[in-house]
Amino acid sequence: MHRTYSLRSSRAPTNSQLQSPPPPTSTTKSGSLFGKSSLGNTFRKNAAGNFGPDLAKKLSQFVKMEKNVMRSIELVARERREVGKQLSLWGEDNDDDVSDVTDKLGVLIYEIGELEDQFIDKYDQYRLTLKSIRNIEASVQPSRERKQKITDEIAKLKYKEPNSPKIPVLEQELVRAEAESLVAEAQLSNITREKLKASFSYQFDAMRELAEKYALIAGYGKALLELLDDSPVTPGETRPAYDGYEASKQIIVDAENALGNWTLDSAAIKPTLSMRTTTGDVYSSDRQRIDDDDGDVYANDQELLHSAQGNNYSSQGNTANNNWPNEHSEQHDVPTNANGNGTANQHRPVEVV
């Protein structure tokens, strides 16, 4: 909020941004075919389920619906900034105390819009991470269908021509298809869980940041209101001169510092859990990077996944290769450090079948 006195000027990164670098700008922020209206939203939601393999339909629709949420938050953020400016504009014509307080309230409200804007970029990362589940779902379907098709063919042949030489060929083909399918299903199972956890973990962290910053702004806003001279005057009485400029400026500086210094580690609101079912602390205060055996730091969870899979599948021979469905490789992963606790237990030694 480096705009203590005006709504202009550029900004220094906050502590929370230093802790986890901000994601790229949300994809919804560029112009879109359907503009910003909810018309596009409705179309998008309804169209989403109509294409692609059955397996991925529900998730496709979910991902599109999240895009609608994002666009609506974007609308709120934009209108919030406009409201902040208009409040300041209205207050200008008023007495000194009202003018100063509304101007500073405008700064805080504008800041809410900015925070919502940053949240949108993170929400987009969450959404794009979910897309990788959709992609693996979509790529698993052909493998299931192929297995089913060969099984059906064998059954048909065995009924029509029980001695057909094609049967052993098809049976060999089925073994290969089953192996491929086993790998695909394992990938689906692993990626679904990993990405689900990573994406929501990221969303919840982003939400926690936005939420605590909202609450901070609300607090500083209330402090500003105290500067209003709201003791009633009688007709003809003039109010004492306003002397709150220093105080209001200081409140904005304090707010700026509080927002700038906020990090996930300093989060004040923690859930009270009556059962402790997991070893990992949900709100661990030491969010450490995870080192692998070489002492390297994993760049992101995608790399982590590849590495884990390398361990699992390399002994499977050629059938269980590491070929990813690259036609679906739109892998937008959450930035480094996004899911500090989430990925740690992927490092437990896994058995090789």
Residues 27-66 contacting its own copies, CB under 8 A:
36-39, 41, 45, 55, 58-59, 61-62, 65-66
Point out which span in 1-9, 164-172, 194-202, 326-334 binds its own copies (CB under 8 A).
Answer: 194-202
The distance of closest approach from Cβ of residue 325 to its own copies in the complex, given in angstroms and rounded to an integer, is: 15
The distance of closest approach from Cβ of residue 160 to its own copies in the complex, given in angstroms and rounded to an integer, is: 32
Distance (Å, whole) CA 301 – CA 338 = 9
Name which of 54 and 171 has its Cβ closer to its own copies.
54
Distance (Å, whole) CA 254 – CA 302 = 39
Q: How many residues bind its own copies (CB under 8 A)?
A: 121
Point out which span in 138-146, 180-188, 289-297, 324-332 binds its own copies (CB under 8 A).
Answer: 180-188
Examine residue 204 and tell whether it contacts its own copies (CB under 8 A): yes
Amino acid at 300: N
Q: Measured in Å, how far apart are the chain's first and last C-alpha atoms? A: 55
Name which of 132 and 203 has its Cβ closer to its own copies.
203
- Among positions 209-248, residues that touch its own copies (CB under 8 A) are 210-212, 214-223, 225-237, 239, 244, 246-247
State the maximum Cα–Cα separation within the chain, in Å, rounded to a whole number: 112
Q: Do 284 and 342 form a contact (C-beta atoms < 8 A)?
A: no
Given candidates 6, 50, 93, 327, which one binds its own copies under the rule CB under 8 A? 93
Name which of 3 and 36 has its Cβ closer to its own copies.
36
Examine residue 95 and tell whether it contacts its own copies (CB under 8 A): yes
Q: Do 229 and 97 form a contact (C-beta atoms < 8 A)?
A: yes
What does the H/E/C string look like for 6-26?
CCCCCCCCCHHHHHCCCCCCC
Given candidates 14, 16, 97, 124, which one binds its own copies under the rule CB under 8 A? 97
The distance of closest approach from Cβ of residue 117 to its own copies in the complex, given in angstroms and rounded to an integer, is: 13
Question: What is the DSSP annotation of 13-70?
Answer: PPHHHHHSPPPPPPGGGS--TTTTSHHHHHHHHHHHTTSS-GGGHHHHHHHHHHHHHH
Name which of 169 and 175 has its Cβ closer to its own copies.
175
| Residue whose tokens read 């619906």 | 65
The distance of closest approach from Cβ of residue 154 to its own copies in the complex, given in angstroms and rounded to an integer, is: 21
The distance of closest approach from Cβ of residue 17 to its own copies in the complex, given in angstroms and rounded to an integer, is: 18
- SS3 breakdown of the chain: % helix, strand, coil, rounded to 5? 65, 0, 35
Name which of 230 and 294 has its Cβ closer to its own copies.
230
Name which of 164 and 345 has its Cβ closer to its own copies.
345
Name which of 232 and 295 has its Cβ closer to its own copies.
232
Given candidates 17, 151, 316, 336, which one binds its own copies under the rule CB under 8 A? 316
Question: What is the DSSP annotation of 162-217?
Answer: TT-THHHHHHHHHHHHHHHHHHHHHHHHHHHHHHHHHHHHHHHHHHHHHHHHHHHH
Examine residue 107 and tell whether it contacts its own copies (CB under 8 A): no
Given candidates 272, 318, 323, 326, which one binds its own copies under the rule CB under 8 A? 272
Examine residue 265 and tell whether it contacts its own copies (CB under 8 A): no
Question: What is the four-CA torsion angle of 34, 39, 40, 45, rounded to 10 degrees?
Answer: -170
Examine residue 283 and tell whether it contacts its own copies (CB under 8 A): yes
- Could you tell me the sign of the dihedral formed by the alpha carbons of 115, 289, 270, 18, in that order? negative
